[in-house]
């Protein structure tokens, strides 16, 4: 009976299809069938998935800079570059941790290049400072000079808390291969051996066009930048540092909601990049070329500066999160949360009397008293001096480097990502510390320090982990823990 009932149901379902419909499906002659889109057409409007079959995700667009590197980067640093051949060179360390050096040996471009690469191995220092204070008025009795007394009001500033968190060890979590040495881009105003910021001689940002001059060298000075241009670049640098972009990020690569993404300089930057890709554009000078330009200069008061930049973190977001943690304690007075960065420059000067006169603090103080320094400053500014501030060493707090093609070696896929779309199927591994992990680790101690009116250094994440481990070992000795 069941078999007969199934046969009847099958016959009823088949009767619902007409003969023409069946023939249309079989022959493909139905116009409606032909109008159906193909799979590729139907899926063409869909976004590609950000996760593959192995569970490895692609980064959001706002994190693409963590995978980037400059087109004209210097060779990677290695431990072999860290030797002690330069220890006997005369130098001093400023109060900000910067290195100031005078050495005849550095008049040779090869030696200068090797010295700068060796100095790039020394990472800058980074601390997060939280400081809160309020004012209190007190009344004191003072003499009025006539044998009487009067009441005066004095305002005292009371420090409620003032503590720092050392982030320098976080910089050392990133391998040496992530440290990038790059030179200034042609379209960026910089000190190219003069006292004013200039462009590359082959680039004119005024017209937004690339001007080729086969007689000019990439280390020559182009036209001076205008006040408005310097102001725009200064704002862009502040934006770049706040968002954690590396130095080689252009305005055109900023977020879509940023005013810099639509700035007039973006089109000019693309002109340079497009021309360079075609092989007819600007030859960007490397570290060796700039060292040659400095050493061949006859200016007795010139200087070569290696800048050290920290990137990789959304500093603006971290500061907001720490401020929110402090406010959650109920603290109602004024406070400041800032990043303190030191040891960010290496300044090379010729080994001569003029350089000593204008850089040694004690001598400069005496020259100011005798009114000689203003004359030396004018002489340096107009004739004898020139700054070469064209080389930058970049240190990430967080970045992605190429990883093995298999994720089996990494138990936590949270650190593994595919790169941006132009990187294909390559895998990358994250090195460093995420901003959220840092805030989660420290927000409790930040609140406790604010409530406890702590003044001093809270240490680093490494020292914090050591203390936690010691506390755990002591607790384990207790019965019942």
pLDDT of residue 28: 43
The residue with tokens 């990883």 is 403
pLDDT of residue 449: 94
pLDDT of residue 221: 86
pLDDT of residue 414: 75
pLDDT of residue 317: 95
For 101, other C-beta atoms within 10 Å of its C-beta total 18
pLDDT of residue 202: 78
Closest CA to 301 of 259, 350, 257: 350
Distances (CA, A) of 84 to 56, 87, 88, 308: 43, 6, 9, 21
pLDDT digits 0-9 by tens, 292-316 = 999 999 999 999 999 999 999 999 9
Instruction: Give me the residues of the chain with pLDDT under 70, please.
Output: 1-57, 80-84, 204-214, 255-282, 405-413, 425, 462-471, 474-475, 481
Q: Are 366 and 279 in contact (CB under 8 A)?
A: no
Cβ contacts of 274 within 8 Å, gap of 6 or more: 281
Closest CA to 188 of 252, 269, 262, 131: 269
pLDDT of residue 243: 92
pLDDT of residue 280: 45
Q: Domain extents for the chain? A: 2-43, 61-124+167-467
């Amino acid at each position: 009976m069941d078999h007969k009932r199934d046969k009847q149901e099958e016959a009823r379902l088949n009767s619902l299809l007409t003969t023409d419909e069946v023939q249309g499906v079989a022959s493909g002659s139905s116009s409606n069938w032909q109008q159906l889109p193909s799979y590729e057409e139907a899926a063409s409007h869909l976004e590609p998935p950000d996760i593959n079959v192995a569970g490895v995700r692609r980064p959001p667009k706002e994190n693409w800079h963590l995978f980037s590197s400059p087109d004209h980067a210097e060779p990677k640093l290695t431990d072999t570059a860290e030797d002690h051949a330069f220890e006997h060179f005369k130098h001093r360390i400023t109060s900000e941790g910067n290195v100031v050096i005078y050495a005849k040996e550095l008049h040779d471009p090869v030696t200068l290049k090797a010295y700068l690469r060796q100095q790039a191995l020394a990472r800058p220092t980074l601390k997060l400072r939280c400081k809160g204070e309020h004012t209190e008025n007190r009344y004191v009795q003072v003499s009025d000079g006539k044998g009487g007394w009067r009441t005066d009001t004095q305002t005292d500033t009371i420090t409620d808390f003032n503590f720092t968190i050392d982030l320098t060890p976080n910089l050392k979590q990133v391998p040496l291969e992530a440290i990038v040495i790059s030179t200034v881009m042609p379209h960026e105003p910089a000190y190219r051996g003069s006292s004013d910021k200039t462009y590359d001689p082959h680039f004119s940002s005024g017209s937004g066009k690339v001007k080729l001059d086969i007689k000019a060298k990439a280390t020559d000075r182009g036209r001076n930048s205008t006040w408005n241009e310097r102001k725009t670049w200064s704002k862009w640098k502040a934006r770049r540092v706040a968002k954690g972009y590396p130095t080689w990020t252009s305005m055109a690569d900023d977020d879509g909601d940023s005013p810099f993404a639509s700035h007039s300089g973006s089109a000019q930057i693309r002109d340079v990049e497009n021309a360079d890709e075609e092989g007819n554009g600007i030859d960007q000078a490397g570290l060796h070329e700039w060292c040659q330009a400095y050493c061949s200069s006859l200016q007795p008061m010139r200087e070569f500066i290696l800048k050290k930049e920290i990137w990789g973190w959304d500093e603006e977001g971290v500061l907001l999160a720490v401020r929110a943690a402090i406010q959650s304690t109920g603290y109602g007075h004024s406070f400041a949360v800032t990043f303190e960065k030191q040891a960010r420059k290496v300044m090379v000067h010729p080994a001569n009397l003029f350089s000593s006169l204008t850089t040694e603090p004690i001598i400069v103080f005496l020259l100011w008293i005798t009114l000689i320094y203003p004359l030396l400053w004018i002489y340096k500014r107009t004739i004898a001096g020139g700054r070469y501030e064209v080389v930058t060493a970049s240190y990430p707090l967080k970045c992605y480097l190429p990883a093995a093609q298999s994720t089996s070696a990494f138990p936590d896929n949270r650190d593994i990502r595919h790169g941006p779309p132009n990187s294909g199927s390559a895998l990358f591994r994250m090195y460093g510390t995420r901003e959220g992990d840092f805030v989660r680790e420290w927000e409790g101690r930040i609140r406790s320090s604010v409530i406890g009116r702590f003044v001093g250094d809270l240490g680093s994440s490494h020292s914090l982990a050591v203390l936690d481990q010691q506390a755990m070992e002591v607790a384990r000795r207790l019965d019942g823990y």
